[in-house]
Structure 1
Amino acid sequence: MLSLLSLLVLALPLRAQVVYEDFENGASLNWNAADGTYGGVFANPDPNFVNSSDSVGSYTKSDQHAFSLFIAEVSTPLDLSVNNQFSIQIYSPIRSRFILKLEGSQGAIEGSRFIANANVWQEYTFDFSAAAGNDSLTKIILFFDYGVTASSETYLFDNLTAGPAGPCAGTTPDPDIIDDFECQRNASYTGGWDRLEAVPNPDASGINTSSTVGRYPDPLDEWSALGIRYYDALDLSTQNTIAAKIWAPKSGQILFKLEGGVSAPREIFLQVTDTLRWVEYKADFSDQATADHKQISIFFNAGVLADSGDVYYIDDIRREETPQGNIIEDFEPQLLSWAPFNNDPAVHGTFARIANPDASGVNTSDFVGQYVKGSSAFSTLTAPLPTPLDLSEFSQLNMQVWAPAGTQKVTMQLSSPTQGIKAIEQTLTETQVWTDLVFDFVNFNGITDFDAINLLFDPGVATTQTFYFDNITQGAATTDPCEGIDPIANFYDDFE
């Protein structure tokens, strides 16, 4: 049975739909379980805003067939000349895949969808506009959990309808576009699926003038995420940067996380400093190229209790190839000649290349650098660069750090004989674990003669504790170039 909202939609001339099956007053189609069991019409056991119908259909898959055949045949061929976008609502007990297929004497058309959420009604849509000229289609076939022989779950289904495909008819899915909230709607959302909705762009300006975007009201907790689930492990061999345009109402951190597979979860925090406008964020997961993950999770204002009314907008979620920069130091083997500043170990500490003392989390490499601070609160470790560092294309330096409890900051300096020292300071969000730090020197990318790199751990704090660092790499910028800039009270806008 269709909801009142659905009936109102059907009444609109421009959105006229054909209802093939809604189980109102019994089944409209002659369903036949060639494999498995057709359970007939049941009372809806768990209505929600997707399907509040009273009655639904039931089918139990055969555990003897990988493609358990469930079919309905009609005497008059289906007319797809106009109404060729099909929708069906499904209540699945497990995460699985599903095929809707139309078949006739002149060929067939089918579409597959991943059911990312178990035990909840969700709607799945299929663009069959390519078969608009096929007037022989008389069979409607459903395959639940296809490709899996042993499964024998019972599935509920309802509201099989067709309507005009609209402006997105014939769109070929782009495997690298996860969701653009227009025609490339390729995501299977899990967490947050019932909060996310496509809406008109509230601020069509700057880097995002698209018409439609995603609206996400942040739940009133610290760690709710928008989850994008995959049936198979993500192929991260090349397209391993996750990018998204986000409109944030407040400062904080966006957390991109890969999880759900056999590999350990991988997290990347990106700072939000520019609010109330569209900003593109990119999380570089190139170190996960061979990992096994099945879910991308995006946390808005991660770790902070949301306020009532916090609404984020998101658009153009995609996967892209990570620009290849340079390995500056990974200790496999050691590439640079690290030493205390002025070769003074008493004041500026000592360095050694050692076996990784905590090969876990984001850094499981064999060897790392060890640094014990000297007597100076600004104890400095330095290394000359074999060739001048060119930042014109790749302005960001990344480094992994393991710091003792209480450590707050790490500073990276690049030294130029003509321009002096340029420094970027980052705040640690965790200690006693390996942490990724990002140092973006984009404001200095015109300097071409950087010949040394300096590291200051907890600068300004007198301590002789031990720090570890590893995997200093150069890559494309993933941070806001204005991050860390303090506002000047009598400046309204410098447009930079």
Structure 2
Amino acid sequence: MIKKTFTIIILFFISIQTISSQELWDDFEQKRIGYYNFIHGVMTINTANPSPNSVNSSDFCAKYERNISETYDVLEIIANGPMFDVSDYISGSKKMKIDVYSPAVGIPIQITLEDSTTATPTNYPTGRHSEYIGVTSVANQWETVELVFNGQPDPSLSNVGITSIILLFNPATNTDDTYYFDNLMGPEVNGACNGFIPNPQVDFQDWDCNWNINFGYTSGELLQSYNPAVGSLNQSKYSAKYTRVPDSNGEDVLIANFSAGSLNLSSNNIFRIQLYGPPRPFKISFQDDTTEVISFNRTISSANQWQQFPFDLSSVSGQNINRFVLFLDQGVVNFDVYYIDNIGLSSSPSSTIELNDQFVTIFPNPVDDKLFIRSSINNSEFDFFIYDSKGILVKKGRIYNPKSINNINLELSSGIYSLIIRSKNNVLTKKISVK
């Protein structure tokens, strides 16, 4: 009898684990695996939680103001890789969830799983794999809304390789209500950040896998965006796009708080940031909660090209620095656009050198079975990811001694693959041909 009871408990535990094995898509603090490609309304990320409770005690969330002119107001979230098999969401053995703070009871929340490579605004139901509905049960307080399967508009789509979540608040209405949402749980994704171990003490924000900065205030609009100029210095897929909105005196600021708290500058005391934009001056001020500790004035010298700026903080390594404030083209009234990326700490300026063919050798190419990688950069380790022509991750691993020759047993079918090598500060992408 005891043995049978134990077996039942184990099976129950496994069942619970299976149902709850969704992936966290966005918590607006330290994790995001999707890109907000299109939004009808106005979305503000890293908004202060309007009313923390036992459901959602997070400091930050997203605020969304619906577009009254859109009957089907949507937020399109493209995952950073194709979704794994979503058939369990159709059967109900897994369910998507989202924390919502809504203005009324009975408001429907809809998620559509979509193939954004085939779906367009005017060709419904093409590309819409499946729809899921939940309904709010309280007003002006947080609740977790569970979404249940509601149909398959395009049953011809495969259950594997879906690209996007389409989120709708109160669809089929014309309202301008405001919602707060957080902790979106959705299907598991075969993405580049799978298995990635963040180090929030050193790698702050790259808008890809590292999300360790809370932008407490921005005068302008700060959004995740595609990298405007992928190249040797910055090969990231995503960066931040910032549009200045200064006051009448030209005052425009971004206040960035480090999620891990005060900087640990004992061994890594070079602050680094990449900027892209017009050739303008900028100031960066490092502060504790109320007072400036040290500041620097620099200039973006090349128009619309990525530049990397190191700032030596060794002289203030014993002081508390909890945030930095960025002033772009201070004192001038304009609405220029800048891009920001790869914010972190390094032990020396030289460690921020970018990965490129001068420093990393990959051979042979074309390759039969074994691929060799050698680097002259003094980094402790590399992560590598290999994707097939459909963008599906087929192999990944870690190289612990990159200054020696390392070999990777590919065991892949013939074809063209993308090899991504990621170090602490850099990313390199190469095409490889498997015979």
Higher radius of gyration, 1 or 2: 1
TM over 0.5: no
Range class of TM-score, shorter chain: 0.3 to 0.5
TM-score (norm 1): 0.36
Structure having greater relative contact order (Cα 8 Å, sep ≥ 6): 2
